[in-house]
Amino acid sequence: MRSQRIAVGAAGAEVTRIVLLPGAYHALDEFIAAGFDQALRERALAAELILAAPELAHLNDRRWLARLYTEVIAPARARGGGGELWLGGISLGGFMALRFAAEGQHALDGLCLLAPYLGSRIVAAEVGAQKSLSDWKPAALADDDDDRRIWRFVQGLPMMVAAPRVFLGFGSEDRFADTQRLLAGALPAASTRVIPGGHDWPVWRALWDTFLNQLASRP
């Protein structure tokens, strides 16, 4: 798994670590070109941004789940610092962040979902046909039913003792906005930020700024 670490802030301070996964066919350098690292440096945060991209060959057989943990998440935890660990991503990367969290084996403090792809619209329509997500009752899930596993994870968030915080952001004209709004409806209102725009880097950068501002303003 390709990865890149960018550390900022005062040495010895409590470090917030944020792992971000790119969208389909995006290169890690595109985060840098869009200024994600610069945005972090501009704020009073002791933080480490970890950009990570699974190999495409590992996506279909789900080897990326184990490799994300062993090669990125576990080492980030082991570096210590006492701060929070967030996992997030853009588009397909947001889907993968949710899918990793749905495994339920490794605690995360938060999820940063920027314009996430949320799987099949057929499954989303199945969920959306209910009065609320809590009314949805999926049958037993197959091992490869990633879409329903994600929605079942979201369904269970209110019942989790130590649920990760969620930041969901997307553009009002995003091509996945219908499913993103469905997800927003299952989260506390304060968790979601919608801004004008589509499924592109200027929108994602603006949402990243909003997410970082929220982190920086917390006591």
User: Which pLDDT value is given to residue 80?
Assistant: 72
Binned at pLDDT 50, 70 and 90, residue 81 comes out as low
Question: Residue ranges of the domains in the chain?
Answer: 2-217
Q: Which residue has the higher pLDDT, 162 or 86?
A: 86
Tokens of 99: 């899918």
Residues 187-215 pLDDT 10s: 999 999 999 999 999 999 999 999 999 99
From the CB of residue 68, how many other CB atoms can be counted at a distance below 10 Å? 25
Predicted pLDDT of residue 57: 61
Burial annotation 75-113 (CB, 10 A radius, 16+ → b, else e): ebeeeebebbbbbbbbbbbbbbbbbbbbeeeeebebbbb
Whether the per-residue pLDDT at 76 is higher than 70: the answer is yes
- Indicate the pLDDT class of residue 59, thresholds 50, 70 and 90: low
CA distances from residue 24 to 30, 57, 125, 137, 188 in whole angstroms, order as listed: 12, 13, 23, 30, 28
3-state secondary structure 59-76: CCCCHHHHHHHHHHHHHH
The CATH architecture annotation of domain 2-217 reads: 3-Layer(aba) Sandwich (3.40)
